[in-house]
Structure 1
Amino acid sequence: MINCNLTLDRTTLEEVIEIQRLDYNNLTVDQKLSIAKVMELFNKPLKEILDDSTTDLPYRICRQCDKVMNEGYVIDAGDTYCSDACLHVNISQEEYLEMYDDGEGDSYYTTWDEIIIDPQATDTQLVGVIPKCLVDHYSLECVSFNVFMPPGVLKHLVKRGHWSDFMTYYQDIPDMIANPDYAGQNPKEPNSVEIYKVVNDHVILPIKLNKESGLFLSSFFILNNGTDKIQKRLRIGRIHPFSFFIK
């Protein structure tokens, strides 16, 4: 439970938000009182706090159901929706695809969690959140869209000569996973997804599923002759533009 005698700060507010993301009807009386007390201290509703464009909190409010969320749709760099169901009450899939504009528009799916990757980590770390449409398309039986990276992958990158590639782009990995240019699946790896991002280079991020621990980034490297390889994989149907998966 939140200690309401503490000075109200970001940590306290985030604890309240996490509580509010649960089913309110199942909260304890103390939890409900904590929420009420913090809102009283702030003297303005949580929705107004999160709608403030200057907030650095990694949460937003769904415009349709008022759910507190840390990932979802952004429409025209403004309205936010937590799910396909809420989005489609107001905007059809065809309208969304037109606004998404193959990743060039101001409408997209994203996460507001700040993910910081440590290239020297000795523990498993969160490196991104994979779009739900990819999980659905490839029928990946995972309980979370979070993508992790075990420390052994860093050793693998060094051993395979990909360390320089990783160090060039590791800070961009969360965005690459959330907003790929292309995606597909290695036919020899059924419980996997390949994510492709075109930056200064053509980068591939293979993501695999461990049914016990979830999704993990298994490697990271720049494709040699990337343009030719991507075009070939598009022709044979191994990969598709990301817009193909947004149905």
Structure 2
Amino acid sequence: MKVERYIKELLGIVSEVQNIKYSKTNLEKHLIKRNHIDALKYFDKIEEIINNPDYVGMNPNEKSESIEYVKIFEDNVLVALKIHGSKDFYYIPSMYTITDYKLQSRLFSGRMKKVDNKNNKP
């Protein structure tokens, strides 16, 4: 998996880092520990969320580059990416569901942007 160029352009990201890595075992443990049980049912959809998001955004509360992907299923599912300390790949530290209100608030504030998947596919 990788962060596509059109996503970076939409968010104004200039770094050359693209590749995404994650440990399924560690991420699953994290979701259980953080009580993100509702997100577990979408665990096997991570690649779909990354490859075909409905919304993307940047987390302004993180010091390093942090991208948020949201896909609408029965729930609004957010997959968070952070740039690794080595600065040569992204990793997935968490995923969880967000409410419609939270999604709309992030769109209104500009933190999230709608992705036009029809016109942006590589």
Residue 156 (structure 1) aligns with: 30
Query: What is the DSSP-based 3-state SS (H/G/I as helix, E as strand, rest coil) of the residue aligned with 2:116?
Result: helix
In 2, Cα distance between equivalents of 1:231 and 1:164: 20
In 1, Cα distance between equivalents of 2:75 and 2:92: 19
Which is strand-richer, 1 or 2? 2
Q: Deviations over 1:18-76 (max 9, x none)?
A: xxxxxxxxxxxxxxxxxxxxxxxxxxxxxxxxxxxxxxxxxxxxxxxxxxxxxxxxxxx
Residues 222/216 of structure 1: CA separation in 2 closer, same or farther (3 Å cut):
same
Aligned partners of 1:147 and 1:215 also within 8 Å: yes
Residue 201 of structure 1 pairs with residue 71 of structure 2 = no
Sequence identity (%): 28
Residue 89 (structure 2) aligns with: 214
The AA in structure 2 aligned to 1:236 is S
Residue 13 (structure 2) aligns with: 138
**TM-score with structure 1 setting the length:** 0.42
- How many residues end up aligned between the 2 structures? 114
Among 66, 81, 97, the residue aligned to 1:192:
66
Aligned partners of 2:38 and 2:97 also within 8 Å: no
1:211 offset after TM fit, Å?
Answer: 4.5
Unmatched 5+ stretches in structure 2? none
Unmatched 5+ stretches in structure 1? 1-127
Bigger RCO of structures 1 and 2 (CA < 8 A, at least 6 apart): 2
Aligned partners of 1:195 and 1:206 also within 8 Å: yes
1:130 offset after TM fit, Å?
Answer: 2.5
1:242 offset after TM fit, Å?
Answer: 1.1
CA RMSD, aligned part only?
2.2
In 2, Cα distance between equivalents of 1:195 and 1:232: 15
Residues 242/235 of structure 1: CA separation in 2 closer, same or farther (3 Å cut):
same
Aligned partners of 1:129 and 1:174 also within 8 Å: no
Larger Rg: 1 or 2? Answer: 1
